[in-house]
Amino acid sequence: MRKYILDLQSREWKSAASFDTSMFRDIELQQVADEILDSQLDVLWVITIGGSIFCKPAVEGGMIYFGCCDKKFYAVSIDGKLVWSFETEGVVVSSPCMAGNLIVFGSYDFNLYALDKNTGRLAWKFPTRDKIFSAPYTDGKRIYFGSKDGNFYCVNTEGKLVWSFRTGGPIETHPLIHKGVLYFGSNDQNFYAVEPETGRLLWKFKTKAAIRHGFATLDDVIYLSGMERTVYGVNAQGRQVFSFNMGNLNSASLVARDGIVYIPSRDRNMYAVKPSGEILWKFKTGHAVEQPSLHNGVLFFGAEDRNLYAVNALTGQLIWKFSTNGYMPSTPIVHEGVVYMGGWDCNFYAISAADGKLLWKFRTSIGTQSTFDMDQVRPEKHFEVIWLPDVEEKEKKKEEVKISDYGEIKSEYAFTGMGDYLGKKKRGYV
């Protein structure tokens, strides 16, 4: 099959070969997945309510903290028993941070929440003007985070605004402070360096696409990526000193340690790359790779093929893998020999770091997995998606295909069975 996208405003056609959709179980999901990759739709903002877990957990004092797409934030004991939960008004995919006695996270109800980590009681909440995906970061005195409203915020530990910084697009990135400089990115394609105390811009670095997720540092170089195939390395003065190209978009946050940058990609590979750009190894999975965690020489990471992998960080050799019933977007965290990680299948898992055996799992309040509401994605630009049989090789010629009334293709070449496909065309939004 080949997919054709019609821009309803420009009335232009785009043809693109489909990617491998074998992990998806029906044609509806195949079409959505193809639209996401080919059109670079930003579906993180339209995750629906369900029991799926997206965020990286936090572990402290015998407790595990994580948010869920059921709108709840959970505190679970290290033996898998619920201690408390707190319900917000929106999906929670923002990874939490600890700020003294507070656990802090964002919600799609536009608020940043601070809860007492022992009781789950609300200490304060800070309102923004749109959804929060960004994981908050604290230096002990202030808390830093971004919002879909295009602003990057700094609040104190009492929830009072210290300063805000306006960018030209939604902010999905997880901020980082390195050697006294605060770094974050925006969907306006810029990577920003600002003063943490005042929010004053020091410099910005322009990329070619929206910047997403988190960053890694190695020898004072900050590594970053977004909705493009290039991973950048930028020094403390904002000059590019590293570039690495993948076979597809970057999937998630990067990790760097001991002279190696670990890069997850939608081309199904986890890369281990030297600062020189040399590939030490790459590990192939069954689908897009998510953010890794490095612990005691082992790289742990999930993938959209529904597996959690443990790989030797120096050689790329598989140690073990653990299979679930949904893709694994959550970043694992390792604590006292146990890997803690949430799954899209509505379960939170505790797995032995040594051998990949399940220790326990905790079921969230909704047993139905979350999906993506494509009707909400960038509604200002519409397109039609039409699936047609591949043309015989001898008939393939470069010519413009014109459309009339969104249904009749006027060309000297007729496609067998076109009417059946046109009758099933789907509308989405870019």
pLDDT, average across residues 93-97: 97
Q: Are residues 315 and 396 in the same domain?
A: no
CA distances from 284 to 41, 219, 234 (A): 25, 28, 27
Neighbours of 258 (CB within 10 A): 9
Q: Are residues 26 and 116 in the same domain?
A: no
Q: Are residues 60 and 36 in the same domain?
A: no
pLDDT, average across residues 135-155: 97
Question: Which residues face 182 on adjacent strands?
Answer: 177, 194
Residue 78 in contact with residue 57, Cβ under 8 Å?
no
Query: What is the b/e burial string over 184-210, where b = at least 16 CB atoms within 10 angstroms of the residue's CB?
Result: bbbbbbbbbbbebeebeeeebbebebb
| pLDDT reading at 19 higher than 70 | no
Query: Does 369 map to a domain?
Result: no
Q: Is 121 exposed, middle or buried (0-12, 13-18, 19+ CB in 10 A)?
A: exposed
- In this prediction, residue 427 carries a pLDDT of 36
Q: Are residues 343 and 227 in the same domain?
A: yes
pLDDT tens readout for residues 48-77: 999 999 999 999 999 999 999 999 999 999
Which of 316, 334, 363 marks a domain boundary? Answer: 363
Residue 263's nearest CA partner among 226, 208, 307 is 226
Strands (E) across 8-71 are located at 13-17, 58-60, 63-67
Nearest-5° Cα angle at 293, 288 to 296: 135
Q: Are residues 12 and 124 in the same domain?
A: no
- In this prediction, residue 388 carries a pLDDT of 56
Q: Are residues 205 and 324 in the same domain?
A: yes
Query: Does 54 map to a domain?
Result: yes
- Residue 263's pLDDT band (cuts 50, 70, 90): very high
Q: Are residues 280 and 383 in the same domain?
A: no
Task: Give the domain CATH number at 226.
Answer: 2.130.10.10
- In this prediction, residue 412 carries a pLDDT of 33
Q: How many domains does the structure of the chain reveal?
A: 2
Query: Does 372 map to a domain?
Result: no
Q: Are residues 115 and 191 in the same domain?
A: yes
Which of 308, 335, 363 marks a domain boundary? Answer: 363
- In this prediction, residue 18 carries a pLDDT of 40
| pLDDT reading at 240 higher than 50 | yes
Query: Does 330 map to a domain?
Result: yes
| pLDDT reading at 26 higher than 70 | no
- In this prediction, residue 46 carries a pLDDT of 85
| pLDDT reading at 14 higher than 60 | no
Encoded tokens for 333: 């965290």
Which of 339, 363, 387 marks a domain boundary? Answer: 363
Question: Which residues face 16 on adjacent strands?
Answer: 3
pLDDT, average across residues 164-193: 96
Encoded tokens for 235: 């020094």
Q: Give the SS3 label for residue 205.
A: strand
Does residue 250 or residue 123 have the better pLDDT? 123
pLDDT tens readout for residues 331-346: 999 999 999 999 999 9
Computed over every residue of the chain, the mean pLDDT equals 84
Query: Does 323 map to a domain?
Result: yes
| pLDDT reading at 116 higher than 80 | yes
Q: Give the SS3 label for residue 30.
A: helix
Q: Counting every residue, how long is the chain?
A: 430
- In this prediction, residue 42 carries a pLDDT of 64
Q: Give the SS3 label for residue 244.
A: strand
pLDDT tens readout for residues 380-404: 444 455 555 555 444 444 444 443 3
**Containing structural domain, residue 11:** 2-41+378-429
- In this prediction, residue 393 carries a pLDDT of 41
- In this prediction, residue 386 carries a pLDDT of 54
Q: Which range among 83-87, 296-300, 368-372, 412-416 shows the weakest confidence by mean pLDDT? A: 412-416
Q: Are residues 158 and 212 in the same domain?
A: yes
